[in-house]
Amino acid sequence: MIKRVDRNKVRRGKHHSVRKKVQGTAERPRLAVYRSINHIYAQIINDELGVTLCAASSLEPEFKQTELYGGNTEGAKKVGEMIAKRALDKGLDKVVYDRGGYLYHGRIAVLADSAREAGLEF
C-alpha cells in the first residue's frame, strides 16, 4: 500500500512551529497570508488583543473590478498592494511577515514584495 503525504497537514505543522516564534504586537502586527488554489488572503493581526486590524483578499469587489485572477502572481501582487494601502491608512507601517507555512516562493513572495514596494516595512 502506498502512503500518501497530506501536504496541507505538513504545511499546518510548519505554520505551527513558525507561530511559536512570530507574534504580532501593537507596534509590529503580524501580516498573515493564506493561499488556496483560486484565491489569496492577507490579514494584519494584533495577537496581543486577538484582533484583525485590516484584511484584503482576491474575493473582494475592489479586486474583482481589476479582472485579475487570485490564483496567480499578478493577483497576489494586487492583494499585496491592497493590504499595504489599508495598513498605511490605519497608521501601520511596520509588520512581521507570517508566510503561513508556505515556501517563500511564487504568490507568497510576490505578495510580500508588492506590500514592501507599497510602503510596508518587514
Tens of pLDDT, residue by residue over 71-82, are: 999 999 999 999
pLDDT score of 68:
93
Tens of pLDDT, residue by residue over 30-60, are: 999 999 999 999 999 999 999 999 999 999 9
Q: Which of 8, 10, 17, 61 is nearest to 36 (CA)?
A: 8
Distance CA 28, CA 47 (A): 10
pLDDT mean over 90-94:
95
Strand pairing of 96-98 and 30-35? parallel
pLDDT score of 2:
84
Q: How confident is the model at residue 3 (pLDDT cuts 50, 70, 90)?
A: confident
pLDDT score of 56:
97
Q: Which domains does the chain have, with CATH numbers?
A: 21-117 (3.30.420.100)
Q: What is the layout of strands, in order, in the sheet containing 51-57? A: 51-57, 40-46, 30-35, 96-98
